[in-house]
Structure 1
């Protein structure tokens, strides 16, 4: 279950094992929401550090797996995919509780990681190590942002959305340059994913990159709406 033989553990989009992973992931998100008001200081700390451990282990084991199989490559294993960047941001966010990191992490994670769970760029299916590592890592990313929102009560503003959008574009410029230097496809800035994904409907290269900008703005706006409505509702209730 630790080898690199794709054919031994093929991944099939929306197969039983994939749908099961989606159900478990969204079940965990719902579960976190339901217990949000029942966590004490100690239980909050335990949950936070468990998330940190999951993030660290999922990334460390991923890198070790590539290394021991002699497949580690600078064009594949640098943490420059959107979800890899989100994972590191979430680690920093949980440990430091930095609000600016939270702003970027939330918008990046709740788009990239959630989409990755539903339409993963994954070649190994159940019960391969990579299947579990992939879904655990992406779920931990999402739960980390929801933890900061629901448990630590962090909130977002319209400016948060703009700052996150600008920050991700600056990151994308750096990643694009690194892609050219090492021949990589981090953040899918060089070509589309090999597996089926929503990007397939956004046009050919390089035009789909412009489409992604529009999609990102739409998704960021949808993510911001609950915060907007809650803030307005709170203002009305205080009148």
Structure 2
């Protein structure tokens, strides 16, 4: 990014919205909380549609870069569905775990070449920060906690999706999910070893992070059974 200040301002604003929304949902529950979730869902869905359409409109569409195959792209769609239908437990679990592992890491170490006020800049900020906001809204604000066994389910789905994207990358010469090369900008993958070993290392780190994110709910369940 040529100027990181607008990006971090956007992240800070998203964090403020997230805290205010979660506190309000906990203190003043009611029908308005579901309507707030649907507003988030519409914003995320609009961001996803824009991501798909904008390369076509501008003539920059490419099979190597323009398909919604990255995990954050899939998480964007899943988070929109979860905010619209918070009773769908699996969508909530995927949003929570994907949002606070891969997407949060992408927020903190953004692989973003566009600068403010380019459209791609807003797509990145709204999409990535929006997923994290959705995760906290669902689990902290609405108290939709992951079920027992959610780590195994989410990890299996993640590995299966990664394998499919890896095959696609190999067939098309793409680098979705950075399975063929690390990001240009510094990220967690940059310190996990050379290709392809950083993929295995990343899977191990992801599993540990999933367990950490799940631990508070399992501890709470254990205390409630005593």
TM > 0.5: yes
Q: What pairs up with 1:14-25 in 2 under 5 angstroms?
A: 15-25=4-14
Distance 2:190 2:223 in 1: 39
C-alpha deviations, 1:188-226, integer Å up to 9, x for none?
111111122111100110010111011101211221122
The offset of 1:50, in angstroms, is 0.6
The offset of 1:67, in angstroms, is 1.5
Q: What pairs up with 1:174-193 in 2 under 5 angstroms?
A: 174-193=164-183
Q: Which moved further from structure 2: 19-28 or 107-116?
A: 19-28
The offset of 1:84, in angstroms, is 0.3
Distance 1:167 1:11 in 2: 36
Aligned-partner SS, 2:153: helix
Distance 1:39 1:70 in 2: 47
Distance 1:224 1:204 in 2: 29
Contact persistence 2:14–2:133 (CA under 8 A): no
C-alpha deviations, 1:157-213, integer Å up to 9, x for none?
451011101110011111111112222111111111112211110011001011101
* 1:76 and 2:65 matched: yes
Q: What pairs up with 1:10-159 in 2 under 5 angstroms?
A: 10-12=1-3, 15-96=4-85, 97-159=87-149
Distance 1:98 1:33 in 2: 19
Name the structure 2 match of 1:4.
Answer: none
Unmatched segments (≥5 aa) in structure 2:
none
Distance 1:176 1:169 in 2: 10
Distance 1:170 1:221 in 2: 19
* 1:211 and 2:211 matched: no
- Cα RMSD of the aligned pairs, angstroms, is 1.9
Distance 2:29 2:124 in 1: 30
Unmatched segments (≥5 aa) in structure 1:
1-9
The offset of 1:45, in angstroms, is 2.6
Contact persistence 1:11–1:122 (CA under 8 A): no
**Normalised TM-score (structure 1):** 0.86
The offset of 1:123, in angstroms, is 0.3
Q: What pairs up with 1:160-179 in 2 under 5 angstroms?
A: 160-179=150-169
Give the number of equivalent residue pairs: 225
Distance 1:183 1:95 in 2: 36
